[in-house]
A and B are shown apart, each in its own frame.
Chain A
Amino acid sequence: MKSRHKKLLVILLGLSGLGIATALILNAFQSNLVFFYSPTEVHEGKAPLDRAFRIGGLVEDGSVQRDPDGLTVRFVVTDTAKSTPVIYKGILPDLFKEGKGVVAEGKMGADGLFNSSQVLAKHDENYMPPEAAHALEQAAKAQKTLSQ
């Protein structure tokens, strides 16, 4: 009987350990999921105001401005339908260019300015991050249905 009890104990410990681990993992998961929104969705109010998310599209031509301190840069992300202004402090990735795809991660400020903590690079001339491409596609579709 004793050995059976021991086995039962081991199984129970194992299951509870598994349960705790699962709970921790799912919890970490929930709080660290980062959703992606296009500028149109941000305009429609779909993006959260209290947590970080990603925004993507094209860098609007002529919108890149550097602040006098040299490191803060402002630009505008657009999906050809709507645009969102972004502010970022730091060194931009090598392939960041006006008219090219970009994905930025950060929080939306109360003033409508997206405070970015990270700007993601694409890694070669022909590659567009899928999310940005998707956002552009959606906007193009929306344009078509609106203009019909």
Chain B
Amino acid sequence: MIPELGHFALIVALLLAITQAVLPLIGAQRGNLTLMSVARPAAQGQFVFTVIAFICLAYSFLVNDFTVENVASNSFSQLPELYRFTATWGSHEGSLLLWVVILAFWTTAVSVFSRHLPDDMVARVLGVMGLISIGFLVFLLTTSNPFDRLLPAPMDGRDMNPLLQDWGMIIHPPMLYMGYVGFAVAFAFAIAALLSGRLDAAWARWSRPWTTVAWAFLTLGIALGSWWAYRELGWGGWWFWDPTENASFMPWIAGTALIHSLAVTEKRGAFKAWTVLLALTAFSLSLLGTFLVRSGVLSSVHAFATDPARGAFILAFLVLVIGGSLVLYAWRAPKMLSGGGFTWFSREALLLGNNVVLLAALGAVLLGTLYPLLIDALGMGKISVGPPYFNAVFVPLMAPALFLMGIGPLARWKEASLPDMVSRLKWALAISVATGLLLPLTLDGFKPWAVFGFAMSMWIFLTVLVGFRERLKNGARLSTLTRSFWGMQLAHLGMAVGVAGITVVANYEVERDVRMDIGDHTELAGYTFTFRGTTEHVGPNYRAARGTVEVSKNGKKLYVLHPEKRIYNASGMPMTEASVRPVLFDDIYVALGEPLDEEAKTWAVRVFHKPFINWLWIGSLLMVVGGFLAASDRRYRIAVKAAAPTAAAAQGA
């Protein structure tokens, strides 16, 4: 009964989405207030019903209802309760349902926090989001129904992929989707601006906090994915330039360019058409990512099992959305008058530089991700583009971006003075260069990229400090500085920390595969690893060989690690559970390879020393916090009431 209820709820949600999309958009076009006011209740109703559907699916998982196909394919009776719940979004159908719920959530949030926006704008924004909801709900109901029954029901399920049975996988998809889907809000605002022909500073001020929050969630989602991969895959890697990773990274790059471009549009009224185009691009990339992951065209650890019909649907949807929005853009954008001019050395110019570099990086990643697909589609063979390409283009492109990150926040709007900037920053520059050149010598050797990485992260760190110092000297106090300023500094600082972490880990990490007998030891980076054999261990839904590895330094025993090799009962699938010992400056990482003899006394063991890797995630968290902080700035909440009449006046401009 419950699954049918869920199915029915989805159908009702679809009907509400259609109402939410069609009536308000017509209403906005005709100035009909009654039709426009349908938007809010329809959106909120849609949210209620999608949540009902989600609860029905989650319930089916929790009670082990194996008559539901989705539950039978992705769950198992011995699966711990927590993972039975998260299995709700562990499959293609379930994660799509999550997509739809989160889209409805964002739509409801917009409907609640938009009292101060003009009615036609609200109607258009909610209407566009309704159109997107329609697309996904139709997709869900026609090709990917999570409530399909499987009769006769199997005795037990086929179990959840062991790789998903981990903390990281619990929060990573929801956070990622909050980000991905959140860009739909920016997209909707952009389309609304194009449809109404009105694009002023007020528009930028309204869309900015939504975009920043979505960006912060996406940053968190990507960081969690990377952290999960590091701990769960047992290979010690944290970024593989895998097509699905790129699928989430590309919207992130576009989103970063967007939040910086919005700053200019809000403050100076410039870059209007460009900002709108970026908003369209960011969400289009989110949709593209969805297509890539679910269509089966990719060979990747991440790719969902697939069905060509689904791929065709998403592709059609993608073409419709991207094509439609670009056509609208081409038609309406020329009508937007742009704001103030600026000189070649000013904050606007530097932010333009930021956008250019980010977009070049985006282009490079997009090329590397799509080229294999293109070649395959043309029947010209099967190729792959691996990490060497991405690293070779992405890292050098980041150089100017990181450098500009130091100067941008310190430059004045409209016209800044280069000699003045040089004198303010000469010490920062000198110290950064010195750090870059000298620090590698204290670590394991001189490496050119390490020089660059250290110099850049010190540069950003110092310029952040200069920013604080200058403001404080001009009379402000730490408590009076705006949240927007704090958010920016924190996010940039997070970038510095992240870059420092990546630099150290990428250049100075060490790994070794060794064959170890009981009592054998190996040395790595000053630590001694002694293998003490394995014991049998039984978990809730797996059996494991649990290894014991003692780690000591200079003869002093530091700690004991327990890497495991698990075999999951339902699927018979083996999985490596690495043991990671995190410390602020170091990670010691041990993973069991495979047993090399019959009695499993000798094992292939992989040991890693990963210095500073946690800085990577700490840096990401700082960026996330910075983003949320900036979005909560008072001016987005207060100026609001005054904005309505000002906006009306500005429309004449």
- Residues of A near any B CB (own CB < 8 A): 6, 10, 14, 18, 21, 24-25, 28-29, 32-36, 54, 66, 69-71, 89-92, 94-95, 103, 105, 121, 123-127, 129-131, 134
Contacts and interface: CB of A to CB of B under 8 A. Distances in A.
B439 interface: no
A89 to B, nearest CB: 8
B301 A123 contact: yes
A33 B383 contact: yes
Contact of A32 (B297, B382, B388, B602): B388
A18 to B, nearest CB: 8
Contact of A66 (B297, B344, B371, B596): B596
B299 A129 contact: yes
Contacts of B384: 33-34, 36, 54
Contacts of A124: 161, 305, 571, 573
B650 interface: no
Given A70-B602, A94-B575, A130-B382, 7 more contacts: A14-B356, A25-B363, A34-B383, A35-B382, A36-B384, A71-B514, A127-B303
A91 B574 contact: no
Contacts of A35: 381-383
B392 A10 contact: no
Interface in B373-387: 381-386
A106 to B, nearest CB: 12
B444 interface: no
A124 B515 CA distance: 27
Contact of B513 (A54, A71, A123): A71
A71 B515 contact: yes
A14 B356 CA distance: 10
Interface in B206-255: 234
Nearest to B296: A130
B397 A29 contact: no
A105 B364 CA distance: 23
Interface residues of B, number: 46
A29 B596 contact: no
B296 A125 contact: no
A125 B299 contact: no
B128 to A, nearest CB: 33
Interface of B: 161, 163, 234, 296-299, 301, 303, 305, 344, 356, 360, 363-364, 367-368, 371, 381-386, 388-389, 392-393, 396-397, 513-515, 571-576, 591, 593-594, 596, 602, 604, 606
Closest 10 CB pairs of A and B: A70-B515, A91-B593, A32-B389, A36-B382, A28-B392, A129-B299, A32-B388, A94-B574, A70-B596, A123-B301
Contacts of B389: 28-29, 32-33
A29 B368 contact: yes
Contacts of B234: 94
B301 A121 contact: yes
Contact of B393 (A24, A126, A131): A24
Given A32-B392, A94-B575, A123-B301, A25 B364 contact: yes
Contacts of A14: 356
Contact of A123 (B163, B344, B593): B163
Contacts of A10: 344
Contacts of A32: 385-386, 388-389, 392
A17 B562 CA distance: 52
Nearest to B387: A32
A34 B386 contact: yes
Contact of B571 (A18, A21, A66, A125): A125
A94 B161 CA distance: 13
B258 to A, nearest CB: 21
A66 B603 CA distance: 13
Contacts of B576: 94
Contacts of A28: 389, 392-393
20 contacts: A6-B344, A24-B396, A25-B367, A28-B393, A29-B371, A33-B385, A34-B386, A36-B382, A66-B596, A69-B515, A71-B513, A89-B513, A90-B513, A91-B591, A91-B604, A95-B574, A105-B386, A123-B161, A124-B573, A127-B305
Contacts of B514: 71
A90 B234 CA distance: 13
B599 to A, nearest CB: 14
Contacts of B572: 125
Given A91-B513, A91-B606, A130-B299, A21 B385 contact: no
Nearest to A126: B305
B396 to A, nearest CB: 7
Contacts of B299: 103, 129-131
Contacts of B573: 94-95, 124-125
A89 B305 CA distance: 31
A29 B368 CA distance: 8
- Choose among B163, B305, B575, B594 the residue with the greatest number of A CB atoms under 10 Å from its CB: B594
Contacts of A29: 367-368, 371, 385, 389, 393
Contacts of B368: 29
Contacts of B356: 14
A14 to B, nearest CB: 8
Contact of A34 (B298, B385, B393, B574): B385
- Choose among B298, B381, B382 the residue with the greatest number of A CB atoms under 10 Å from its CB: B382
Contacts of A69: 515
Nearest to B381: A35
B237 to A, nearest CB: 11
Contacts of A90: 513
A84 B607 CA distance: 31
Contacts of B296: 130
- Choose among A34, A90, A91, A121 the residue with the greatest number of B CB atoms under 10 Å from its CB: A91
